[in-house]
Amino acid sequence: MTPAPRRTPLSTRKTFSAKAEEVQRKWWIIDADNKILGKVAVTAANLLRGKHKAIYTSHCDTGDHVVVINAATVKLTGKKETQKVYTSHSGYIGNQKIKTVQEVRAKHPERLVEKAVIGMIPHSRLGRKLSTKLKVYAGAEHPHVVNQPQSVVLS
């Protein structure tokens, strides 16, 4: 008879936990030209969280920097262009502001992508830290060429 394989004792096993200062950060660029807003936002949120990495740790910032260009020409499906609304409230009585997608796109087109991505990351201190690594631009020009961002292909 062959002996049973030896197992390491539980006291010597270690669980890996990534540390934010040890993470190698990359820069990614997403071209949102005629792409669906939800698919752009999901891709950006996953890159910001670091879910594409083997060292992903949920309580730690293991993500990369994301640059989204051509946010002004992002598409929405269905009747969202006219029916979807963005609300904000100042805290004073009667000061609720409601804007449609058309109004937001006319004034600040990059906010469509920003709000979609921020809604997909945690609403905590970690999420606020992750949102600072998201850069959204309405046109094709961006100042992050120095960082040599890699292109992301959306399916």
Q: What is the CATH number of the domain that holds 115?
A: 3.90.1180.10
Q: Provide the domain count of the chain.
A: 1
**Is the residue at 134 inside a domain?**
yes
The pLDDT score that the predictor gives to residue 8 is 66
User: Smallest Cα–Cα separation from 113: which of 52, 63, 68?
Assistant: 68
Amino acid sitting at position 88: S
Q: Is the pLDDT of residue 112 over 80?
A: yes
Q: Express as a percent the part of the chain with pLDDT over 70.
A: 95
d(CA 74, CA 11): 52
**Is the residue at 10 inside a domain?**
no
**Is the residue at 3 inside a domain?**
no
**Is the residue at 81 inside a domain?**
no
Q: Is the pLDDT of residue 137 over 80?
A: yes
The pLDDT score that the predictor gives to residue 79 is 95
The pLDDT score that the predictor gives to residue 10 is 62
Give me 138's structure tokens.
Answer: 């309405």
pLDDT band at 2 (very low <50, low <70, confident <90, very high): confident
* Average pLDDT estimate for 120-135: 97
**Is the residue at 1 inside a domain?**
no
Q: For the CA atoms of the chain, what is the radius of gyration?
A: 21
pTM of the model: 0.87
pLDDT band at 9 (very low <50, low <70, confident <90, very high): low
Residue keyed to tokens 């959204």: 136
**Is the residue at 98 inside a domain?**
no
User: Smallest Cα–Cα separation from 66: which of 154, 130, 22?
Assistant: 130
**Is the residue at 32 inside a domain?**
yes
Provide the domain limits for residue 132: 26-76+109-151
In the chain, the DSSP E strands lie at: 27-31, 65-69, 85-89, 96-100, 134-136, 150-151
The pLDDT score that the predictor gives to residue 34 is 95
> Going by C-beta distance under 8 Å and a sequence separation of 6 or more, which residues neighbour residue 96?
87, 88, 89
**Is the residue at 129 inside a domain?**
yes
Instruction: Read off the pLDDT of residues 37-80 as tens digits, 9 standing for 90 and up.
Output: 999 999 999 999 999 999 999 999 999 999 999 999 999 999 99
